Amino acid sequence: MNREDFPMLRNDLIYFDNGATTLKPQCVINEITNYYENYSANAHRGDYDISRKVDELYEETRDDVKDFINASRREEIIFTKGTTESMNMIIFGFMKNYLQKDDEVLITKTEHASNVLPWYTLEKEIGIKVKFIPLEDYEVTIDNVKKSINDKTKVISLAWVTNTIGDIRPIKEITKVAHDNNILMVVDGAQSVPHFKTDVLDNDIDFLAFSAHKMLGPTGVGVLYGKKDYLEQMLPLNYGGGMNSFFESDKSLEYKPLPYRLEAGTMNISGILAFRKALSYLKEIGMDKITNYEHELKDYLIKRLREIDNIEVYNENTKSGIVLFNIKNVFSEDTSQYLNHYHVCVRAGNHCAKMVKDELIIKNTCRISLYFYNTKEEIDKFIKIMKGNKDIFKVII
């Protein structure tokens, strides 16, 4: 749907790598230029008209993000560079002070690097213990969460949807179990917020991180959501302009209140304003409509892939728009090169979640990640190309 709004789709291209980044609609692209052409001023400096206008638009974007994920307060929304920066702020700005030696953090082996490496680093720095919730058929079950919890468990940190297997975690139930045991819930929403309705209040999660560029927005913009009480305790990782109220030569100083305290320096203003357009674009289509359409597409893709003898699909039953597959006895990168020849973009490899190989047996796969502008016609073309895979080496060598 809405293909005419995406300039990239005018090219001869089948874009199936939406888990990596999504294409941008014209309104988002235009807003970046609009900022630079018509009100290119810094935010929070409002002594003249265009600067005040930037301030207004910037803060209205914050309100729109708040509404998009149903947060209760605007100061709970912090703009960042992306999910990775948001996760690092949660872990080094808050958890580093909140946790003590021997406290335990639960993650899984299918997390993205940005929900693994900061924790590993904190383990080295302050002696927390990072533990893995065992998976069943690649998925997190409430039973296994309960079994993994002990007196030392202080945090559960999970992707809502994994970028590898595409399984959707029962976050509301997990959060309930976490809170019953005085455990904080951190959620990596990079692969979930773009694809289904997010409600941080209803799910009662404590921290959420996500990226604009995976939901039609520009690169270099992300969001950190945190409950106000926790954000109040978060130490900035960056100090400087925009985050202080005053500082003197006698070293006295005062930082600004939330959210500004956590947004030091000039932010990616054009990106943030363009992100607003992405949010209203998604809202206009309707997140439920997007979710349902993606399910329909995935079911169709799986059904059609079954027509081909030498294709292995690894995650038929997961509920997101992510499909992992290989051509039997062909290395995933060779398959992606073959598809590239026909201008089909898929990702090959282990998708930045390097421990997945412990769970999935097969190390490297091709990944299709769908979005609402993909179509059944594109899937038909893809299937036709895949049916010709016997000639793969004639094409790629």
Helix 287-305 and helix 376-387: axis angle, to 10°? 20
Distance in Å, CB of 350 to other proteins, minimum? 5
Marked catalytic residue, from 27, 345, 352, 366: 352
Distance (Å, whole) CA 177 – CA 172: 9
351 binds other proteins (CB under 8 A): yes
Distance in Å, CB of 369 to other proteins, minimum? 16
Closest to other proteins by CB, 120 vs 393, is 393
- For residues 330 and 343, the answer to whether their CB atoms sit within 8 Å is no
- Taking contact as CB under 8 A, which single stretch among the options 115-123, 237-245, 300-308, 343-351 is the one that binds other proteins? 343-351
393 binds other proteins (CB under 8 A): yes
Give me 114's structure tokens: 């940005």
End-to-end CA distance of the chain, in Å? Answer: 36
Closest to other proteins by CB, 69 vs 348, is 348
Query: Which of 30, 144, 238, 337 contacts other proteins by CB under 8 A?
Result: 337
- For residues 346 and 367, the answer to whether their CB atoms sit within 8 Å is yes
Query: Which of 88, 332, 369, 374 contacts other proteins by CB under 8 A?
Result: 332
21 binds other proteins (CB under 8 A): no
| Maximum distance among all Cα pairs of the chain, rounded to whole angstroms | 75
User: Residues near 133 by Cβ (< 8 Å), separated by ≥ 6?
Assistant: 106, 107, 108, 140, 144, 145, 148, 156
The 3-state DSSP class for residue 375 equals: coil
- For residues 386 and 14, the answer to whether their CB atoms sit within 8 Å is no
165 binds other proteins (CB under 8 A): no
Q: Alpha helix locations (H) across 240-331?
A: 269-285, 287-305
Active site residue 366: no
Query: Which of 104, 167, 334, 378 contacts other proteins by CB under 8 A?
Result: 334
Q: Alpha helix locations (H) across 89-186?
A: 96-98, 117-126, 142-148, 171-180
350 binds other proteins (CB under 8 A): yes
Helix (H) or strand (E) holding 27: helix 26-38
Q: Which of residues 361-380 bind other proteins (CB under 8 A)?
A: 363-364
Strand partners, 246: 254
114 binds other proteins (CB under 8 A): no
- Give the number of other CB atoms < 10 A from CB of residue 85: 20
- Taking contact as CB under 8 A, which single stretch among the options 66-74, 82-90, 126-134, 350-358 is the one that binds other proteins? 350-358
318 binds other proteins (CB under 8 A): no
What length does the chain have?
397
Distance in Å, CB of 13 to other proteins, minimum? 16
Distance in Å, CB of 354 to other proteins, minimum? 7
Distance in Å, CB of 316 to other proteins, minimum? 24
Query: Which of 96, 349, 359, 381 contacts other proteins by CB under 8 A?
Result: 349
Distance in Å, CB of 356 to other proteins, minimum? 11
Q: Catalytic site residues?
A: 352
- Residues that bind other proteins in the complex, under the rule CB under 8 A: 331-334, 337, 348-352, 354, 363-364, 393-394, 396-397
